[in-house]
Amino acid sequence: MGIKINKEFQKYKTRGAYHWEQIGIHPIKRNSFVIARYKNMLRLAKSECGNLNKKKVLDIGCGDGVLSYFFAKEGAIVFGIDYSDIAIEFAKEKTKSFHIDFRQGSAYELPFEDNSFDIVISSDVIEHLEDVPKYLSEINRVVKNNGIVVISTPIKYTEYPLDKEHIIEWFQDEYKKVIEQKFKNTKYYYSHPLALEEIYQAKYFNKQWARVIMNIISFVYNPFYGFNSRFKYLMLQYSVSKVSK
């Protein structure tokens, strides 16, 4: 990602390839929220494109490569790009058998030719960027006509972002205006209650018991997965754009 270096990227130095731990089976290190976010991205791409086999996919802000890995498992031809060279090295190491093309680079200057990809995905990246229009313009440049763009980002609830690593967050209507400046033909989806996330992160008797319980349950049913919540206040918003050039 072409953004300023901050604590988010230092996590790879201190925690290693931590997203891989988050999709594992350890009841404490596992993160059912992150797993659901990635699976939701995959679900939305498949809902628009059907079989992903041989589809050419670009993962912008790929980090240590977990989301790219999920798409590669579906037979997609995956390219991943991230600002963090450390993250890219982890991604390459963790996905050797899938031959994913990972590159260090900027979301503002994607190292690919025009009209290169059937699908562009970007999970919780846009809120870290200082120049969102440039980012969206680059996506529009590299995606094919009639291609699909899937982006996720948190929903805004406070004047300043709840996550200090975020540069900006958007209310639902605000986010629609941002996306539709570049992609008019867009659908929006919203996942899991905000309250569920608060319970997941809360400590009881100085332990995150709810987190462990939800992580164990998520092997059978992940409460963060899907878009059918009837609650009013939800956590994440997803845009799925059909590109017309």
| Predicted pLDDT of residue 4 | 43
| Predicted pLDDT of residue 189 | 97
| Predicted pLDDT of residue 245 | 86
Cα torsion angle, 190, 240, 86, 27, sign: positive
| Predicted pLDDT of residue 164 | 84
| Predicted pLDDT of residue 6 | 44
* Interatomic CA distance for residues 145 and 45, integer angstroms: 16
Helices (H), the chain: 7-15, 18-22, 32-49, 66-73, 85-94, 132-142, 172-180, 194-201, 209-217
Residues in the chain with pLDDT values less than 70: 1-10, 205
Q: Measured between alpha carbons, how far is residue 60 from residues 13, 119, 141, 170 in Å? A: 20, 11, 13, 20
> What does DSSP assign to residue 205?
T
Residues 112, 90 contacting (CB under 8 angstroms): no
Helix (H, G, I), strand (E, B) or coil at 206: coil
Helix (H, G, I), strand (E, B) or coil at 82: strand
| Predicted pLDDT of residue 9 | 57
- φ, ψ at 190 (rounded to 5°): -135, 135
Give percent of the chain with pLDDT exceeding 90: 80
- The helix (run of H) or strand (run of E) holding residue 79 is strand 77-82
pLDDT in tens, 181-205: 999 999 999 999 999 988 998 877 6
SS (H, E, C) 34-68: HHHHHHHHHHHHHHHHCCCCCCEEEEECCCCCHHH
7-242 homologous superfamily: Vaccinia Virus protein VP39 (3.40.50.150)
pTM comes to 0.92
